[in-house]
């Protein structure tokens, strides 16, 4: 039951919804506040046959504008032991003989969805990756190229464009065997093809160290106070002339912040969580060490604490 204003009672009262008649009725005076309303909630009635299929879903998936038929084509299911096996199997064989122009697209979209789920990406990134793949596939067939690398590169570009970047190593971990070099080449190929189509340079989005920081800190199990200090330090580091990649700066900042806390992290653990080599973290730490007093917030570490930092 929910509350709604009743004109007879002159005040909000509890109402009861009669699903069979579609009426909303006041529970105190019985006045019908709304009649023949439409129930827009999901209908979980089952229309399964006697085959033992108890799946209550009787609707298809949402339409997909990237497919020729919108993804709403009919698919003949395989025989399941019920009556009409011969008819069903015959229709299924005829369906398989027919050429489906979207078959390769559907498979590519499924692969992108699997990679997105493994990385915990939102649906907007997955949809953007699907759009990028469709544009490239329409412009020039991708036969002969590493399909896994192409799909991984589409996902990498989509993450960049949606301001939720992932490192190439993170993408590579779900790319079904595609290497970093192959994904990099595929990314360059896709960007080149899309720039030719648009007639202008392609916007990829700017990467900042802060884009990776919270995720890296989560992998290391850092405290909220340490994460907050690392975020402030990363923001201040952008004002410095440190010519290192954002990922390397994020890893070095994490190393500095953790060394100033009771829960110190080993360099190899930071390297494993960030995907940055230990030598690269050391070199980035060497560049940031002279500016530690400027980037580390004063509420997190005092001046004498900063002097305890090991020299690079």
* Domain coverage including residue 146: 104-198
Residue 149 lies in a domain: yes
pLDDT digits (tens, 9 = 90+) for 122-145: 999 999 999 999 888 887 767 778
Q: Which domain-ending residue is among 198, 221, 244?
A: 198
What does the pLDDT read at residue 279?
92
Q: Are residues 229 and 258 in the same domain?
A: yes
Could you tell me where the beta strands, DSSP code E, fall in the chain?
2-6, 11-18, 23-26, 32-34
Dist CA 258 CA 226 (whole Å): 7
Give the residue-averaged pLDDT of 235-240: 87
Give the residue-averaged pLDDT of 299-310: 72
Q: Which domain-ending residue is among 174, 198, 222?
A: 198
Structure tokens at 250: 């994020």
Q: Are residues 111 and 143 in the same domain?
A: yes
Give the residue-averaged pLDDT of 288-297: 86
Indicate the pLDDT class of residue 62, thresholds 50, 70 and 90.
Answer: low
Contact between residue 234 and residue 217 where contact means Cβ atoms under 8 Å apart: no
Q: Are residues 222 and 194 in the same domain?
A: no
Half-sphere exposure of 64 (CA within 13 A, CB side): 20
pLDDT digits (tens, 9 = 90+) for 169-208: 889 989 888 898 999 999 998 888 888 877 777 777 778 8
Residue 284 lies in a domain: yes
**Looking at per-residue confidence, does 228 or 43 come out higher?**
228
Q: Residue 38 CA to chain centroid, in angstroms?
A: 34
Residue 80 lies in a domain: no
Give the chain's domain count: 3
pTM above 0.85, yes or no: no
Indicate the pLDDT class of residue 157, thresholds 50, 70 and 90.
Answer: very high
**Looking at per-residue confidence, does 69 or 83 come out higher?**
69
Q: What is the mean pLDDT of the chain?
A: 80
What does the pLDDT read at residue 252?
92
Contact between residue 212 and residue 165 where contact means Cβ atoms under 8 Å apart: yes
Q: Are residues 185 and 215 in the same domain?
A: no
Indicate the pLDDT class of residue 291, thresholds 50, 70 and 90.
Answer: confident
């Amino acid at each position: 039951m929910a509350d709604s204003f009743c004109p007879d009672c002159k005040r909000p009262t509890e109402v009861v919804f009669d699903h069979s008649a579609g009426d909303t009725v006041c529970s105190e005076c019985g006045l019908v506040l709304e009649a023949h309303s439409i129930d827009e909630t999901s209908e979980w009635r089952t229309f399964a046959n006697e085959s033992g299929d108890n799946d209550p879903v009787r609707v298809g998936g949402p339409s997909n504008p990237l497919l020729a038929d919108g993804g709403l084509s009919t698919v003949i299911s395989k025989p399941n032991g019920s009556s009409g096996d011969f008819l069903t199997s015959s229709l299924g064989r005829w369906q398989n003989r027919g050429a489906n122009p979207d078959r390769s697209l559907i498979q590519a979209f499924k692969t992108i969805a699997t990679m997105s789920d493994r990385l915990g990406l939102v649906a907007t990134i997955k949809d953007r990756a699907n759009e990028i793949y469709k544009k490239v596939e329409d412009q020039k067939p991708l036969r002969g190229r590493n399909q896994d690398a192409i799909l991984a590169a589409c996902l990498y570009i989509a993450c960049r464009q949606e301001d939720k970047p992932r490192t190439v190593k993170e993408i590579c971990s779900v790319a079904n065997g595609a290497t970093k070099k192959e994904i990099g080449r595929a990314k360059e190929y896709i960007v080149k093809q899309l720039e030719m189509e648009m007639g202008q340079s392609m916007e990829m989005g700017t990467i900042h160290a802060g884009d990776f920081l919270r995720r890296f800190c989560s992998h290391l199990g850092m405290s909220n106070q340490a994460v907050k200090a690392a975020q402030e330090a990363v923001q201040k580091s952008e004002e410095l002339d440190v010519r290192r990649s954002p990922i390397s700066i994020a890893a070095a900042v994490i190393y500095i912040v953790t060394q100033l806390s009771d829960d110190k992290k080993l360099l190899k653990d930071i390297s494993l969580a960030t995907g940055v080599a230990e030598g690269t973290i050391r070199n980035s730490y060497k560049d940031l060490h002279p500016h530690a007093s400027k980037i580390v917030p004063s509420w997190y570490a005092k001046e004498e604490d900063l002097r305890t930092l090991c020299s690079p």
